[in-house]
Amino acid sequence: MFGQLKDLGALMKQAQEMQQKMAEMQARLAAVELTGRSGGGLVKVTVDGKGETRRVEIDGSLLVPAEKGVLEDLLVAAINDARGKVEAEAQQQMQSITGGLPLPPGFKLG
C-alpha cells in the first residue's frame, strides 16, 4: 500500500510540473507575434500568440474601389495564415513539454 501512495505522490508531482510548464508556455506564446501574408505580401496581418489581431498592413496598390472583393479575400487569407502560424508555434512548444507527443486535434491553449 505504501508503494501505491509513493507512486501517487510521484504522479501528483509530475502533474504539478506539467501544469507549471504549461503556464510558462502560455506566457511565452502571449509574447509571440507572428505575421501572416497573402497576395505576395501585399496584405500582412500580425497576431499574437493568443490569435488576437495586432496589426493589418495593406499595400496602397490594393486600395482601389473596384478591387474591394479582392482585398477582402486577401485579408481573410492573411488572417488564416497568421493563425496557422500561431497553431504551429503552440504545437512546437507543446511537443517540447510533452516529449514529442503532439497536441490532440482541436486542443486550444487558454
In one letter, which amino acid is 98? T
Query: How far is residue 51's CA from residue 80's CA, in Å, rounded to a whole number?
Result: 10
Q: Assess if residue 20 is contained within a domain.
A: no
* In the predicted structure, residue 105 carries a pLDDT above the cut 80: no
The answer as to whether 78 is a domain residue is: yes
Q: Which range of residues forms the domain containing residue 82? A: 33-110
* Predicted TM-score (pTM) above 0.85: no
Residue 24 domain flag: no
User: pLDDT tens, 4-35?
Assistant: 767 878 888 888 888 888 888 888 888 889 99
In this structure, is residue 61 part of a structural domain? yes
pLDDT of 38 above 90: yes
Residues 83-100: pLDDT tens digits? Answer: 999 988 888 888 877 776
Task: Say if 72 falls within a structural domain.
Answer: yes
Residue for grid cell 486550444: 108
In a domain, 102, yes or no: yes
